Chains A and B, each alone.
Chain A
Amino acid sequence: MPETPLLSVRGLTVDFATPRGTARAVAGIDFHLDRGEVLCLLGESGSGKSVTLRALMRLLPQARTRIGGRVTIEGADLYALPERKVEDLRGKTVSMVFQEPMLALDPVYTIGAQIAETIIRHEKVDRAEADRRALELLEKVQIPSARQRLDAYPHEMSGGMRQRAMIALALSCNPAVLLADEPTTALDATVQMQVLLLLRRLQAETGMSVIMVTHDIGVAAETADRVAVMYAGRIVEQGTAAQVLKTPRHPYAAGLFASTVHAGWKGRRLDAIPGAPPDLTALPPGCAFAPRCSRRRTGCSEAQPPITRFADGREVVCIEALAAT
Chain B
Amino acid sequence: MLTYLIRRVLYAVPIALGVTLLVFTLLHLAPGDPVNAVAGPDAPAEVVEQLRRAYGFDRPLPMQYLLFLWRILGGDLGVSVATGRPVAGELAQAFSNTLVLALGAALVGFVAGVALGGVAGRHKGTAIDHLATVVSLIGVSVPHYWLGMVMVIVLAVEANLLPAMGMGSGGLELLRHAVLPVLTMAVIPTGIVARSVRAAVGETLEREFVQALRAKGLGRGAVLRHVVRNVSPTIVAVLGLQLGYLLGGSILIETVFSWPGTGFLLNEAIFKRDLPVLQGIILMLALFFVLLNLLVDVAQAALDPRMRRA
**Which of A92, A98, A156 has a CB less than 8 Å from the CB of B212?**
A98
Known: A88-B217, A103-B207, A122-B217. A108 touches B212 (CB 8 A): no
Q: Would you mind naming 29 contact pairs between A and B with Cβ atoms under 8 Å apart?
A: A54-B211, A59-B211, A87-B214, A87-B217, A88-B217, A90-B215, A90-B217, A91-B217, A92-B217, A95-B216, A98-B215, A100-B208, A103-B207, A103-B209, A104-B212, A106-B213, A106-B226, A106-B229, A106-B230, A107-B230, A107-B304, A117-B216, A117-B218, A117-B222, A121-B216, A121-B217, A153-B305, A155-B306, A170-B216
Task: Identify the closest chain A residue to B219 (Cβ).
Answer: A87
Known: A103-B207, A153-B306. A91 touches B226 (CB 8 A): no
Q: A57 to B216, alpha carbons, bound, how many Å?
A: 10
Q: A153 to B209, alpha carbons, bound, how many Å?
A: 14
A residues in contact with B306, CB < 8 Å: 107-108, 153, 155
Known: A91-B216, A153-B306. A121 touches B208 (CB 8 A): no
Task: Identify the closest chain B residue to A101 (Cβ).
Answer: B212
Q: A57 to B217, alpha carbons, bound, how many Å?
A: 10
A-facing residues in B277-306 (Cβ within 8 Å):
303-306
Could you tell me the distance in whole angstroms from the C-beta of B144 to the nearest C-beta in chain A?
35
B residues in contact with A103, CB < 8 Å: 207-209
Q: Is the CB of A108 within 8 A of B305?
A: yes
User: Considering the complex of A and B, which 9 residue pairs feature the smallest CB-CB distances, nearest first?
Assistant: A91-B217, A91-B216, A104-B212, A103-B208, A90-B217, A153-B305, A118-B216, A96-B215, A106-B209
A-facing residues in B165-210 (Cβ within 8 Å):
207-209
Query: How many positions in chain B have a CB within 8 Å of any CB in the partner chain?
Result: 20
Q: A90 to B216, alpha carbons, bound, how many Å?
A: 5
Could you tell me the distance in whole angstroms from the C-beta of A225 to the nearest C-beta in chain B?
24
Task: Identify the closest chain B residue to A152 (Cβ).
Answer: B305
Q: A265 to B214, alpha carbons, bound, how many Å?
A: 35
Contact with A along B216-242 (1 / 0, CB 8 A): 111100100010011000000000000
Q: A153 to B218, alpha carbons, bound, how many Å?
A: 20
B residues in contact with A89, CB < 8 Å: 217
A105 interfacial contact with B, CB 8 Å: yes
Seen from chain A, the residues whose Cβ lies within 8 Å of a Cβ on chain B are: 54, 57, 59, 84, 87-92, 95-96, 98, 100, 103-109, 117-118, 121-122, 153, 155-156, 169-170
Task: Identify the closest chain A residue to B207 (Cβ).
Answer: A103
Q: A91 to B209, alpha carbons, bound, how many Å?
A: 14
Task: Identify the closest chain A residue to B309 (Cβ).
Answer: A155
Q: A109 to B226, alpha carbons, bound, how many Å?
A: 9
Q: Is the CB of B303 within 8 A of A108?
A: yes
Task: From B219, B303, B305, name the one whose CB has the most chain A CB atoms within 10 angstroms.
Answer: B305
Task: Identify the closest chain B residue to A57 (Cβ).
Answer: B215
Q: A259 to B226, alpha carbons, bound, how many Å?
A: 49
A residues in contact with B212, CB < 8 Å: 96, 98, 104-106
Q: A104 to B207, alpha carbons, bound, how many Å?
A: 8
Q: A122 to B211, alpha carbons, bound, how many Å?
A: 18
Q: Is the CB of B229 within 8 A of A121?
A: no
Q: A158 to B108, alpha carbons, bound, how many Å?
A: 43
B residues in contact with A106, CB < 8 Å: 209, 212-213, 226, 229-230
Q: A106 to B212, alpha carbons, bound, how many Å?
A: 9
**Which of B209, B215, B230 has a CB less than 8 Å from the CB of A59?**
B215
Known: A107-B306, A108-B304, A108-B305. A90 touches B209 (CB 8 A): no
Task: Identify the closest chain B residue to A89 (Cβ).
Answer: B217
Beyond known contacts A87-B219, A121-B217: 14 more, CB 8 A cutoff: A59-B214, A90-B217, A95-B215, A98-B208, A98-B212, A98-B215, A103-B207, A104-B212, A106-B229, A107-B209, A108-B305, A117-B218, A118-B217, A121-B222
Q: A117 to B218, alpha carbons, bound, how many Å?
A: 9
**Which of A91, A100, A107, A156 has a CB less than 8 Å from the CB of B215?**
A91
Task: Identify the closest chain B residue to A84 (Cβ).
Answer: B219
Q: A108 to B226, alpha carbons, bound, how many Å?
A: 9
Q: A59 to B213, alpha carbons, bound, how many Å?
A: 11
Q: Is the CB of B305 within 8 A of A155?
A: yes
Q: A109 to B230, alpha carbons, bound, how many Å?
A: 9
B residues in contact with A156, CB < 8 Å: 305
Could you tell me the distance in whole angstroms from the C-beta of B301 to the nearest C-beta in chain A?
11
A residues in contact with B213, CB < 8 Å: 106
Task: Identify the closest chain A residue to B304 (Cβ).
Answer: A108
**Which of B207, B216, B219, B226 has a CB less than 8 Å from the CB of A169?**
B216
**Which of A95, A108, A122, A153 has a CB less than 8 Å from the CB of B230?**
A108
Could you tell me the distance in whole angstroms from the C-beta of A316 to the nearest C-beta in chain B?
32
B residues in contact with A98, CB < 8 Å: 208, 211-212, 215
A residues in contact with B218, CB < 8 Å: 87, 117, 121
